[in-house]
């Protein structure tokens, strides 16, 4: 699959949000609800909501962190 290089950061953000939200929502619903007959419905609902939050976080936080990293000096010891 060939995709224009300008979309690299966008695709990376979407994939990180997709996999993180899938994994974390699965674990949290498993812990809170357990494996019952409504597990799949609850998990898919929570995954959708978590995905929206994860996309925003994966897009915004790296930009903020990069700006904060300017103030940190790394030295080799």
Domain assignment of residue 21, yes or no = yes
d(CA 50, CA 40): 15
Domain assignment of residue 53, yes or no = yes
Residue 51: per-residue pLDDT:
87
Number of domains the chain is built from: 1
In the DSSP assignment, the letter for residue 75 is -
d(CA 16, CA 20): 6
Residue 62: per-residue pLDDT:
83
Residue with the larger pLDDT of the pair 1 and 19: 19
Q: In which element (H, E) is residue 56 found?
A: helix 39-68
Domain assignment of residue 64, yes or no = yes
Domain assignment of residue 77, yes or no = no
Residue 60: per-residue pLDDT:
85
Domain assignment of residue 30, yes or no = yes
Residue 70: per-residue pLDDT:
87
pLDDT digits (tens, 9 = 90+) for 12-59: 888 888 888 888 888 888 888 888 888 889 888 888 888 888 888 888
d(CA 16, CA 54): 8
Give the domain range for residue 40. 5-71
């Amino acid at each position: 699959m060939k995709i224009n290089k300008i979309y690299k950061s966008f695709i990376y953000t979407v994939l990180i949000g997709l996999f993180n939200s899938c994994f974390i929502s699965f674990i949290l619903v498993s812990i809170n609800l357990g494996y019952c007959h409504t597990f799949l419905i609850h998990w898919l609902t929570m995954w959708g909501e978590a995905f929206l939050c994860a996309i925003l976080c994966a897009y915004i936080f790296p930009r903020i962190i990069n700006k904060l990293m300017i103030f940190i000096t790394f030295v080799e010891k």
